[in-house]
Amino acid sequence: MRMECAIIGGGPAGLNAALVLGRARRQVALFDDNQPRNAVTKHTHGFMTRDGAKPEELRSLARQDIKKYPTVRTIAKRITGVMPILGGFRLQAGDGSLYECRKLLLATGLSETLPDIHGIRQYYGRSLFNCPYCDGWELRDQPLVVIAEGSNAFSLTRLAYQWSRNLLVCTNGSMRALTGEELQLLQRKGVAVSHDRIKELAGSEGMLRAVAFENGGSSKRTGGFVSPYWRHASPLGELLGCRMNESGGIETDALGRTSVYGVYAAGDASVIAPAQAVIAAGEGSRAAIGMNSDLAREDFA
């Protein structure tokens, strides 16, 4: 099967790209294996007209929008291989089926690994989150923990301070997460810091109650933020040789074009940092405009 555009990833970035390309009357295949990063959470906040919507509800509404456009096919498969061919790309799905396209959008998102702390998974997405803009409002003015083992410990804490002044920063044994200057500033602001290793998180049904340390101490905390380790959910960008940006995401220009001709990227895959659904959707739209205008230019010549 050969189409004009293939989109890999059916999150906000890929779905919005499919919508724009469908409306541009392009032959599109949207591949998705339905493993979004935000599947752990119950609500998506900060998306206009849909503030608080369930992540799956948002995707389902987007899929309904796309159904109006007959040139868009949604294919529930994982793409496991991609290779350049004359005038485009050949994709291989997990079941061995092959597809060809002229332009390819990588909207594959991220996957994340949480710090190695007993019980942390059950709280993530319920009372422990990675992005204050997404979930800070729900945690406002509560006693919060900020779990960060890396050099972003200070910036995440400074941000979290906007939502609660009752903060405990836990570096989980990492002595290098905060500089001396940062420690002084946190102290001046009344933010507590612990370098002790966390033994476990206590609570029930995803709602945090306390952080227990290996040294026997504990602190009552009803929620907080954690800094996960992010990586690409799919290696396809690297396999194609796309240049990466400073954050480790796929580098793009203002219309989503990567360093490899005919390959575009949008959403979390292009920025390895806490991002938002509405930004991913916007980037999907932008990349779709890039793909369509490049096809128009090539075909009009």
Ligand X SMILES: Cc1cc2nc3c(=O)[nH]c(=O)nc-3n(C[C@H](O)[C@H](O)[C@H](O)COP(=O)(O)OP(=O)(O)OC[C@H]3O[C@@H](n4cnc5c(N)ncnc54)[C@H](O)[C@@H]3O)c2cc1C
109 sits near ligand X (criterion: CB under 6 A)? yes
Using CB under 6 A as the binding criterion, the count of chain residues that bind ligand X stands at 41
Least Cβ distance, residue 106 to ligand X (angstroms): 8
276 sits near ligand X (criterion: CB under 6 A)? yes
| 88-93 and 218-220 strand pairing | unpaired
Among 22, 237, 262, 267, indicate the residue that binds ligand X (CB under 6 A). Answer: 267
State which of positions 111-140 bind ligand X (CB under 6 A). Answer: 125, 129-130, 134-135
227 sits near ligand X (criterion: CB under 6 A)? no
Q: Is the dihedral of CA 172, 178, 179, 180 positive or negative?
A: negative
State which of positions 149-188 bind ligand X (CB under 6 A). Answer: none
State which of positions 55-94 bind ligand X (CB under 6 A). Answer: 78-79
Among 5, 108, 149, 171, indicate the residue that binds ligand X (CB under 6 A). Answer: 108
State which of positions 21-60 bind ligand X (CB under 6 A). Answer: 31-38, 40-41, 44-47
> Could you tell me the CA-to-CA distances from 113 to 12, 21, 130, 246, 262 in Å, in that order?
21, 33, 11, 20, 31
Answer whether 293's CB lies under 8 Å from 24's CB: no
> Could you tell me the CA-to-CA distances from 86 to 89, 99, 103, 197, 266 in Å, in that order?
8, 14, 12, 55, 24
275 sits near ligand X (criterion: CB under 6 A)? yes
E strand segments, 245-289: 263-265
What is the C-alpha to C-alpha distance for residues 27 and 6, in angstroms, rounded to an integer? 9
Among 17, 268, 290, 292, indicate the residue that binds ligand X (CB under 6 A). Answer: 268
| Angle subtended at Cα 209 by Cα 207 and Cα 210, rounded to the nearest 5 degrees | 135
* Contacting residues toward ligand X, per CB under 6 A: 8-14, 31-38, 40-41, 44-47, 78-79, 107-109, 125, 129-130, 134-135, 233-234, 267-269, 275-278, 280
